[in-house]
Amino acid sequence: MPSKVGPVLVVIGSILGIALLVASLLVLRTAMMQRPVDSYFLGYEATSAAGIESVSWTQAPAGDRTGTSVEESASGAVGSPYTTEAVVAAGQPARIEVEPVGDGVASCRIVKDRGRTNEAVLAEATSAGPGETATCAVTMPTGATFER
């Protein structure tokens, strides 16, 4: 009569292997979710009914999402509303300045994770008077972990 020990060991080994795989995936998922945020995906928005003379914003340098913020800009015939996306490192400033055409009034917003379920407006402002620049600024937090 053939032994039943062999098939039983195969079944037990398979169950243990699957359990080990599931446990490993859970540990990996937890480790990934608990790692600190090192950079943020932002949307910069600028508007002015009179048009936009120029707009400048900060972002991480190309190819280095955790680097010190650098300034980028657009000027001359900038359409309104103007939007751009940028990555800014944790602990670095996020800033947008909007200069309206002539005596126009400008406004700006900085939006974290624009278009995603955890979208949040971090800063918004309107120029203090006609022809004045609107400035939105915030320093990105450090020590945050990924939202679930």
What's the angle, vertex CA 72, arms to CA 114 and CA 103, rounded to 5? 85
Q: CA nearest 57: which of 40, 70, 75? A: 70
- For the stretch 97-121, pLDDT in tens is 999 999 999 999 999 988 788 889 9
Looking from the CA of 69 toward its CB, the CA atoms found within 13 Å total 24
pLDDT at 14 over 80: yes
Mean pLDDT of 16-38: 78
Name 14's Cβ contacts closer than 8 Å, sequence gap at least 6: none
Of 71, 84, 80, nearest in space to 53 by CA: 80
The owner of tokens 């909007």 is 98
- CA nearest to 84, candidates 99, 74, 93: 74
Torsion of CA 64, 36, 40, 111, to 10 degrees: -170
pLDDT, position 147: 62
Q: Give the model's confidence band at 30: pLDDT under 50 very low, under 70 low, under 90 confident, else very high.
A: low
